[in-house]
Amino acid sequence: MNRAQHNHMANAIRALAMDAVEQAKSGHPGLPMGAADIATVLFTQVIKFDPADPKWPDRDRFVLSAGHGSMLVYALLHLLGVEAVTMEQIKKFRQLGSLTPGHPENFITPGIETTTGPLGQGLANAVGMAIAERHLAAEFGDDIVNHRTYVLASDGDLMEGISQEAIALAGHLKLNKLVVLFDDNGISIDGPLTLADSVDQPKRFEAAGWSVSRIDGHDAVAIAAAVARAKSSDKPSMIACKTQIGYGAPTKAGKSSAHGSPLGADEINGAREKLAWSDAPFQIPPEVLTQWRAAGQRSQGARKEWSKRVAAMPANKRAEFERRMRGDLPGNLNTAIRSVKESLALAPKEIATRTACEFALESIIPAVPEMIGGSADLTGSNNTRIKTMKTLAAPDYAGRFIHYGIREHGMAAAMNGMALHGGIIPYSGTFLVFSDYCRPSIRLAALMGERVIHVMTHDSIGLGEDGPTHQPIEHLAALRAIPNLNVFRPCDAVETVECWQLALESRDRPSVMALTRQNVPQLRHMLDERNRCVAGAYEISSADGHAQVSIFATGSEVSIAVDAQKLLDGQRVRARVVSVPCFELFLAQPDDVRRAVIGDAVVKIGVEAAVRQGWDAIIGSDGVFVGMNGFGASAPYKELYKHFGITAEKVAEAALSKLGKR
Ligand SMILES: Cc1ncc(C[n+]2csc(CCOP(=O)(O)OP(=O)(O)O)c2C)c(N)n1
């Protein structure tokens, strides 16, 4: 392609970005105009992508980490020929129900790999995608899994703290098929970057084990050469591309005024002149469209060849690859769950639910080969690694356990990337209190509907001596506030395995498993093949006759509720206990089911070693809540439960007083 051709193609992106933002009266023209040359080189010469099948498993991934520049990808998808992304859709940029929302949403627009907008997340997702690629290649061979992950990252992406976790992990794992193109335009919303930053970004990447280069991001030849070098590196690569934000805009180019608002008619006219683009808004000259569509055909042959190689795989291996990419669970999961429940029925265990989790994983992990575990440096505390698991590390990516380091946020975002890549169900470990450090990524997993599973142990003051910095108080409520996230808090070993089953079966949502550090008795001794946690709450211990008191509890507090029931029985008060392992599943039940579980006892008590917020949906605003009102303290856990009044005696007293018996 000659220089003039390249310029026309890049200008098509610029024109669409200017026009769509102008029409929407909002949006970000600066990034697409500045990064158009980079995108044009990538999609005309480098990236393996077939618009006819945007989900082709062996495609290269392209992540626009700076999601505010969404018009860049929408323009590309339209120009390359993704059928659904019509010019009509481009004209409906940022409108309700369009395929071109304000920020890229992977579940709305074909060809979008991940939802971006919160800066830094896309870059960290890409690390997970690159891990997934290496792992699946180790398992299924390079002729089936062999693609690269490209990221376009802005100043904002690289200023966010998560970027440090992401690049350190990628460098450590030597993910040499990851290429980050840094849109080095020196401008952010407030003005020149010099207002707030003086980091030498290439040096930072270099220190983390990356190959780096600095180029002119408007020089197509230099871009292509830098990418070619990156492809032959044995490290991940970062290419700092000096660009001008809003390239082509006569007065706003290079200024923050090009970043995030419509350029205005005069500026757009001036840009059309400067770029020698004479066509009307939303009109692409036929020869330019033809060139773009031809670029869109580049990978058709590669995809067909790939399909042939898949067809030639041994039948069982092919079926396994296809099953994993579809996200279907293997048939033997149910056998594994059953065997765990059988052994717990034969020999009940009084163990922490984190230990019960490990016990369940001993059976589940061999049965579900797509699970990749990990921990943010708390492996021995989270119990997320079973004995037979090998570490996933360079150069052997076949292992199934990742030492994420003390990088909770990067871990959670990488897990999203693995799930988005497909073929993998990531799970990981940290303390529940550090869910705050992963929350932005958990929220995005919930928004995207990705199956990632966060094992979060040390789930209350029950962790004891580490004290209030480590004791989650508001975290269950805060996580329950995230839509489309299941928060499980099993009460014993049996519920733990049942919750695992539910988390794995939840294809379209993430899950958190809140697990104890301290031992809890096994409350369910009889083998029950049904998954009793499926409706989120169920009566675990019934009253002897019509109940006067219903006690609802989760996790480690269920056994306290059962003890309170006994105390009340001694006072001839009939109480029942309902275990509530998952609020979200329970509150999603039809009214009659919910009403039946809540029951009509005059006194309703909720017990959870956490704040009350959210509990009124179950116990009502006049229900009694036994839990925490403030931060915890440092002491052995049994003393803490006494100190904060979360005991069977206090629960029984509360019931009696509410019944007017005290
Ligand atoms: C986590 C997060 N914080 C803040 C924002 C709001 N925001 C959007 S773009 C941006 C910075 C823009 O600078 P840069 O990343 O350099 O993008 P460019 O100006 O080059 O388009 C900010 C602060 C965001 N999207 N995500």
Tell me the pLDDT band of 662, cut-offs 50, 70 and 90: confident
Mean pLDDT throughout 349-366? Answer: 98
Q: Which residues are catalytic?
A: 408
Tokens of 165: 């976790």
**Each residue's pLDDT tens digit, 298-322:** 999 999 999 999 999 999 999 999 9
Of 64, 181, 183, 188, the residue with max ligand 1 atoms within 8 A of its CB, to mutate for a pocket test, comes to: 188
**Each residue's pLDDT tens digit, 594-629:** 999 999 999 999 999 999 999 999 999 999 999 999
Amino acid present at 504: L
Query: Which atom of ligand 1 is closest in space to residue 34's alpha carbon?
Result: 20
- Measured in Å, how far apart are the chain's first and last C-alpha atoms? 88
Mean pLDDT throughout 378-406? Answer: 97
Tell me phi and psi for residue 370, to 5 degrees. -80, 0
| Lining residues, ligand 1, CB within 6 Å | 28, 30-31, 66, 68-69, 117-119, 154-156, 160, 183, 185, 187-189, 245, 259
Place of tokens 């293997």: 330
Nearest CA to 30 out of 263, 265, 269 is that of 263
Mean pLDDT throughout 16-27? Answer: 98
Rounded CA-CA distance 308/300 in Å is: 13
Q: What is the pairing mode between strands 575-579 and 538-541? A: antiparallel
In the reported structure, the alpha carbon of residue 436 is separated from the centroid of ligand 1 by a whole-number distance in angstroms of: 22
Return the number of other C-beta atoms located less than 10 Å from residue 326's C-beta: 10
Q: Which residues contact 266 (CB under 8 A, 6 or more apart)?
A: none
DSSP 163-185: HHHHHHHHHHTT-TTEEEEEEE-
SS3 (DSSP) at 338: helix
In the reported structure, the alpha carbon of residue 188 is separated from the centroid of ligand 1 by a whole-number distance in angstroms of: 6
- As a whole number of angstroms, the longest Cα–Cα distance in the chain is 91
Give the per-residue pLDDT at 531.
98
Tell me phi and psi for residue 632, to 5 degrees. -80, -155
Whether residue 280 is predicted with pLDDT greater than 90 in this model: the reply is yes
SS3 (DSSP) at 50: coil
Mean pLDDT throughout 342-361? Answer: 98
Whether residue 190 is predicted with pLDDT greater than 90 in this model: the reply is yes
Mean pLDDT throughout 337-364? Answer: 98
**Cβ atoms of 374 and 384 closer than 8 Å:** yes
Amino acid present at 77: L
In the reported structure, the alpha carbon of residue 652 is separated from the centroid of ligand 1 by a whole-number distance in angstroms of: 54
Query: Which atom of ligand 1 is closest in space to residue 256's alpha carbon?
Result: 19
Give the per-residue pLDDT at 635.
98
Give the per-residue pLDDT at 118.
98
Return the number of other C-beta atoms located less than 10 Å from residue 290's C-beta: 11
Give the per-residue pLDDT at 1.
82
Mean pLDDT throughout 258-263? Answer: 97
Rounded CA-CA distance 512/514 in Å is: 6
Give the per-residue pLDDT at 310.
98
Query: Which atom of ligand 1 is closest in space to residue 30's alpha carbon?
Result: 21
Return the number of other C-beta atoms located less than 10 Å from residue 331's C-beta: 9
Of 154, 443, 444, the residue with max ligand 1 atoms within 8 A of its CB, to mutate for a pocket test, comes to: 154
Tell me the pLDDT band of 62, cut-offs 50, 70 and 90: very high
Tell me the pLDDT band of 104, cut-offs 50, 70 and 90: very high
Query: Which atom of ligand 1 is closest in space to residue 183's alpha carbon?
Result: 20
Q: Within the chain, how many helices (H) and strands (E) appear?
A: 26, 20
SS3 (DSSP) at 92: coil
Q: Which residues contact 44 (CB under 8 A, 6 or more apart)?
A: 1, 6, 9, 291, 295, 298
Query: Which atom of ligand 1 is closest in space to residue 120's alpha carbon?
Result: 1
Give the per-residue pLDDT at 272.
98
Mean pLDDT throughout 74-92? Answer: 98
pTM: 0.98
For residue 391, the 8-state DSSP code is B
Give the per-residue pLDDT at 290.
98
Residue ID of nearest Cα to ligand 1 atom 18 = 188
Mean pLDDT throughout 227-250? Answer: 98
Of 38, 115, 116, 119, the residue with max ligand 1 atoms within 8 A of its CB, to mutate for a pocket test, comes to: 119
**Each residue's pLDDT tens digit, 515-546:** 999 999 999 999 999 999 999 999 999 999 99
Whether residue 179 is predicted with pLDDT greater than 90 in this model: the reply is yes
Whether residue 396 is predicted with pLDDT greater than 90 in this model: the reply is yes
Question: Distances from the Cα of 131 to the Cαs of 138, 177, 444, 534, 622, in angstroms?
Answer: 11, 9, 19, 32, 50
Place of tokens 């019960």: 356
In the reported structure, the alpha carbon of residue 256 is separated from the centroid of ligand 1 by a whole-number distance in angstroms of: 11
